[in-house]
Structure 1
Amino acid sequence: MKANNSFSLLFYPRISDLDKNGKATLFLRITVDGKRAELSLKRKVNPKTWCPISGKIKEKGLVSKEINDYIDELKVRVRQFQGDFVIKGQPYTASTIKSCLVNKGADSKTVLNIYDEHNSNVRELLGKDFTYGTYRRHIRTRNHLSRFIQKEFGKIDYFVQDVDLAFINRFDIFLRKNGAGGHNTITKYVTNFKKIVRVAFANNWISTDPFFHWKAKWVKTEREVLTERELQVLIKTEFKLERLNRTRDIFVFCCFTGLSYIDVKKLTLCNIVFGLNGKKWITILRTKTKVKSTIPLLPLAERILEKYSGYTSKHENVCLLPVYSNQKLNKYLKEISTLCQINKRVTFHLSRHTFATTVTLANGVPIESVSKMLGHQSIRTTQIYAKVLDKKLFKDMEQVISRYESI
C-alpha cells in the first residue's frame, strides 16, 4: 500500500456472540484500502455501556478505565506501526499491521504486549489459580514499565530481545527515583518483570536470560504483633461507629484463627466441621499456598460467628462474615488503633502475626502445630514468628533484670 491510501481503525463489541452475563468481546478492526483485519482484545464489555462514537466505555470504574486506557494505547501503537511502514517506504496491509500488533514472530515480541497477554491469562483464572491482589500487582508493574519505557526511551513499547541487564538496572533506579515504594516493594516489581522475561526465555523469544546475573536483595523487616494487653484493649473497647465495631470483630476473629484476608473473606459453612472432641474446627485450603489449614474454633471466634449469623444466609456456600474490602479494613484499623492508643501500624495482616505469636506460641502451642494451623508449606516460615517471640521475651526480661539489678 502507498502512503496516501486509506487507513482506519474501529473498536467495537461483537454483540452477535454474548456470554451468559450479557457481555460481548471487544474487537479491533483495521482497514487498509478497503481490506479488513480483525483481532480480539480479549476483554469483554456490556454493549449498553459502549459508546460507538468515541469507541470507548461510557461508565466509570476501575475496570472501565483499564479497558479505555488499553484502547488508547492500542491506537497509538497501531499508528506507530503504520507510520514506520510509511517512513521506510515499505508496502503494508491490514494483515501486516495486525501481525505487528500481535507480535507474530520472535523478532517483533515486545515487553508490554507479552505482559498484557500474561495479565489477560491471570484475569481469566481469578479465584482459581490467582487472587485479585496478584492481578493488581502485575497491573501496577506493567504500568510502571510502560511509564519507564516512555520516559527513558521515548517509545510506547520495547522489544523483549533488546532487554538486557542495563535495562533491568535502569528500571530499578527509575522506580526508586519516582517513589514507587519502599525497597522490598520495588524489588517485588522487578521480580514481577523477571517472571515476564522468563516467559519469553521459555518460549525461545530471547536466546539468553538477562536476569541471569541479577539477584533480588530483600531487606529484613520486623513483624509487628499485638501484645496480650493490646489485644485485650481492642476486644473490650466499644466504638460509636458500627463500621469500626465490625472491623474490630473481623480483625479479632483472625487474631484467634490465623486466617488471612482472602481466606476469611471466603469462609463458609462448608469450612466449619466437628472434631473428634465434638468441638467446632475450621478446615480450609489456603488460597496462597494451596495447603490445608486445620484450626480449632476458639470460644471468642465462635461468638463472633454467632454475632454475625443474621447478616448472611444459612446456605453452605455463603460467606459467614461481612468482610469489608482490604483497603477499607486497613483504613478503619488505623482509626481503631488511634482510639485504643495502640502505637503501632496496625494492618489487617497483623492479626495473622498476632495469632502465630501472642495467641499460640506464647501460650506454649508447639511450633509444628502452629505451622499446620497457619497452612505453611515449610516450618521455616513459622520459625520467623518464633524469632519475633524470642525478641519480645528478651525485652520483657530486660525489664525484670532492671528491677533486680540493685539487689
Structure 2
Amino acid sequence: MNQKKLSIRFVISKAKLNQRGLCPISCRITFENKRKSFSTSLFVAPDCWSAKKQLVLDRDIENQNKNGQLSLISQKINQAYLFLQVQNTEFNVDDILDKYSNKKIKKEDNVVSYFKRYLLAQYKLINKDIKPVTWKKFEYVCNHVASFISFKYHKKDFPLNKLNQQFLNDFEYYLKTEKDQKQVTVNKVIQRFRKPIKLAVSEGYLNHDPFVNHKPNRAKKEVVFLSTEELILLEKHHFEQARLQLVRDLFIFCCYTGLAYHEMANLKKEHLVNGFDGNQWIQIKREKTSKLISVPILPKVKILINKYDSISDYVLPKFSNQKINSYLKEIAWIVGISKKITHHTARKTFASTVLLYNDVPMEIVSELLGHSNMNITQEYYGKVVQKSIGREMVRLSKKLGSS
C-alpha cells in the first residue's frame, strides 16, 4: 500500500440512528497510515447508502443534494492536500484536515523561512547592535540548516512545529559526517541555530524548546602556542625575503600584545596612549566583543612600532590575514617549528608563554585579551596554568633533591 496516498471515505454509523431512522455520515481521511474522522453534518437512511459507490442511492432531490455536498467535501479535501504538496514541506493527516477546515496551522511557519526572516531583522542591526562578521556567521548556519533539510528530507523546508530532539541529533550528525566539521565548530553552529528557534518558541510557533534536552558533546580545546624557546628562535632568525621578514614582525608584534588580526590591521597611532603609569599603552575596541582593551606596550613591541613608523595613520603595514597564514607555514618550516601556526597562534602565545608562564594572574590575562568573561579564559587556558604549575613543581623537586 502506498503510505503517501490520500484516502477519502464516507462511512455511516448505524448504531447512531436518530428518531427519523437516519444515521450520520462521517468523513474518514487516511494518510501515511494515520486516520482522522469528522462529521459531515449529513444524515441518510441506512438502506439508501452504498459504501461501495460512496453514494446515496435514493434519487429524490434531497438525497441527490447530499451526494453533491459529499462530492464538494471530497474536492475541498483534495484541494487542501494538493496545496500542502505544493508547499514542498512535510505534513500529516492533521495538517490536511486543518487546511480543509481553514484553520491556521503552524506548519506554514517553517525553519528556513523563519531563519531568513530572523536574518533580515538582524541585518538592519549591523553596526548598531551586531558586527557584520557576526551576522555572516548566522547566515552560514542558515545555509547549513537548509542543506541538511534538503539532504535528509528532500524538501526545501521543514515545519517549525515539528522541530524536535531527533532533528537536532540528525543535524549534528550531518555536520560531522557530510560537512566534516569538528565538534567545536558543530557546537558553535548549534549554539547559533538556537537563537532564532528560541525566538520562535516565544512567538508561539513551537510549543516547547527542542534544545532543552540537547546536550552537545564536549569539544577538546587544544591551545596551540609557541614555547619560550620557539619564540626566541623565531625572533632571532633573519629572513632574506622582505615579505617573510614583515610577516614575522607582525606575528611577533601580536605575540607581545595579544591583538587579534582585525585589531592589529586597524591599529592606528591614535590608539597609542599614555597610561596612568606614564608608559605607553594600546587602547582599542575588540571587533568581536566591542570591549575596550588596554595593553601595555612592552619593549619589543616598541621596537617594532618604531621600525615601521611612517606618515600613515596606521601603526603597521597592511597585510591580508590569508597571506599572513600562508607565509607563516613557510616561516615555520624555515625556522624548524613543527606546529601548525596561524596569526591567531600569536594571541595564544601572548596569553600562555608571555603572560601565564610568567605568573601573570588569570584575571589580568582575561582583561588583556578582552574576553567577555573569565570563564572563557579559564576554559581555554586552564590546562596552560596546570602545565605551569607542573613545571614549577619539577623545578622545586630538583631544588629539594639537590639540597
TM range (shorter): 0.5 to 0.7
Name the CA shift for 1:367/1:185 in 2 (closer, same or farther; >3 Å). closer
Using the TM superposition, give the Cα deviation of residue 256 of structure 1 relative to its aligned residue in structure 2, in angstroms. Answer: 0.7
Using the TM superposition, give the Cα deviation of residue 364 of structure 1 relative to its aligned residue in structure 2, in angstroms. Answer: 3.4
Name the CA shift for 1:368/1:284 in 2 (closer, same or farther; >3 Å). same
Q: In angstroms, what is the RMSD of aligned CA positions?
A: 3.3
Query: What per-residue deviation string (whole Å, max 9, x for no partner) do you get for residues 38-90 of structure 1?
Result: xxxxxxxxxxxxxxxxxxxxxxxxxxxxxxxxxxxxxxxxxxxxxx9898379
Query: What per-residue deviation string (whole Å, max 9, x for no partner) do you get for residues 165-190 of structure 1?
Result: 11111111112221431122122222
- Corresponding residue of 2:278: 278
Q: Superposed, which structure 2 residues align to 1:85-164 within 5 Å?
A: 88=82, 107-164=107-164
- Corresponding residue of 1:170: 170
- Corresponding residue of 1:248: 248
Distance 2:323 2:135 in 1: 19
Name the CA shift for 1:369/1:173 in 2 (closer, same or farther; >3 Å). closer
Name the CA shift for 1:252/1:145 in 2 (closer, same or farther; >3 Å). same
Distance 1:251 1:334 in 2: 12
The amino acid that maps onto 1:219 is A
Distance 1:191 1:121 in 2: 19
Name the CA shift for 1:254/1:86 in 2 (closer, same or farther; >3 Å). same
Using the TM superposition, give the Cα deviation of residue 200 of structure 1 relative to its aligned residue in structure 2, in angstroms. Answer: 1.1
Match of 1:349, SS? helix
- Corresponding residue of 2:384: 388
Name the CA shift for 1:198/1:386 in 2 (closer, same or farther; >3 Å). closer
Q: Superposed, which structure 2 residues align to 1:60-75 within 5 Å?
A: none
Q: Superposed, which structure 2 residues align to 1:311-390 within 5 Å?
A: 313-314=312-313, 319-383=314-378, 384-385=380-381, 387-390=383-386
8 A Cα contact 1:250 1:323, kept in partner: no
Q: Could you tell me the TM-score, scaled by structure 1's length?
A: 0.66
The amino acid that maps onto 1:170 is D
The amino acid that maps onto 2:335 is C
Match of 1:249, SS? helix
Distance 2:394 2:349 in 1: 22
- Long gaps (5+) in structure 2: 1-77, 87-103
Q: Superposed, which structure 2 residues align to 1:16-27 within 5 Å?
A: none
Name the CA shift for 1:307/1:89 in 2 (closer, same or farther; >3 Å). closer
Using the TM superposition, give the Cα deviation of residue 156 of structure 1 relative to its aligned residue in structure 2, in angstroms. Answer: 1.0
Match of 2:343, SS? coil
- Corresponding residue of 1:268: 268
- Which segment drifts farther, 224-233 or 113-122? 113-122
Distance 1:242 1:296 in 2: 28
Name the CA shift for 1:229/1:306 in 2 (closer, same or farther; >3 Å). same
Aligned residues: 307
The amino acid that maps onto 1:120 is L
- Corresponding residue of 1:289: 289
Using the TM superposition, give the Cα deviation of residue 369 of structure 1 relative to its aligned residue in structure 2, in angstroms. Answer: 2.8
Distance 1:322 1:119 in 2: 35
Distance 2:294 2:158 in 1: 47
Query: What per-residue deviation string (whole Å, max 9, x for no partner) do you get for residues 300-358 of structure 1?
Result: 21222233333x623xxxx4333433333322222221221111121222212211121
- Percent identity, please: 33
Distance 1:346 1:376 in 2: 22
Distance 1:285 1:401 in 2: 44
Name the CA shift for 1:163/1:381 in 2 (closer, same or farther; >3 Å). closer
The amino acid that maps onto 2:368 is M
Using the TM superposition, give the Cα deviation of residue 141 of structure 1 relative to its aligned residue in structure 2, in angstroms. Answer: 1.8
Distance 1:136 1:180 in 2: 20
Q: Could you tell me the TM-score, scaled by structure 2's length?
A: 0.67
